[in-house]
Structure 1
Amino acid sequence: MILPHPHRRTFMNRLLILPVLAVLHLPAACDGARRTTDPAKTIHARAGKPFRITLRSGSAMGQRWLRVDSAAAGSLVLVDSGSIPPRRITIGGSGHLYWTFRSSRPGEATVSMMRVLFSDTTRGTDTTRFRVVIR
């Protein structure tokens, strides 16, 4: 009996896994929304077009991000939210959380996010704000 070379088997396994990983990341990568991760940069969006805010998940550390509703959010409407798994599975590794917004009219808005512990959602451990200008 002839056994395949061990490197060939590993290569074939990788070829089988790649399409699966591509399908898992497809919804997050192909929705057409512009992504923003840096709160220091102003988000420039067009009225009616989606944009996405992405933050590193703190679920491995017992934390999560909550969107803080306020009047500063203006005409922004949340149209989608979810999580993106980490590219490499590691112990304590974290993926990303995303929120996709859309506005129907031009103006300015602020999206406020607060990181809280799973056990205590009343006190935030960190806050961040994204300034949005809609044309």
Structure 2
Amino acid sequence: MHWHETNVTVRFNEADQWGMVWYANYFAYVEVARTEVLESVDLLPNQLVDLGFIAPIIHLECDYKAPARYNQKLTVRLTLLPQDVARLVFAFEIVDAEDRTCMVRGSTHQVLLKSNGTMVYKLKGELEKRIHRLARYFEVGTMH
């Protein structure tokens, strides 16, 4: 399994009054990594809409291991977990970029819906091609 890695630096406004990253900001870091990957396979939200679909997150989980702090360099690690149904489950870790201490670990779960809200159970057409290209990237680490 291949992990996509994205580097971020904690900005001043992302820390709370105790000097630690406010918990919800970790999800913003994950979104930076997810956006990078989805952009490379033309699956950004607006592109999904153009195909007639949406993919809302219906579940997320996160275990906090250690606090990140202002100006700390972090690496967001992201992978796509294999699924038997038409959904996207991304596992993530956010680690210190230098010593690789794990700050948080979790996952996001997205379902695929047609624009009218109907659940997609079987992939087909252009959506299937793009999701298979996404899955292939996480299997072998290349978009080709």
Q: TM over 0.5, yes or no?
A: no
More strand by share: 1
Larger Rg: 1
More helix by share: 2
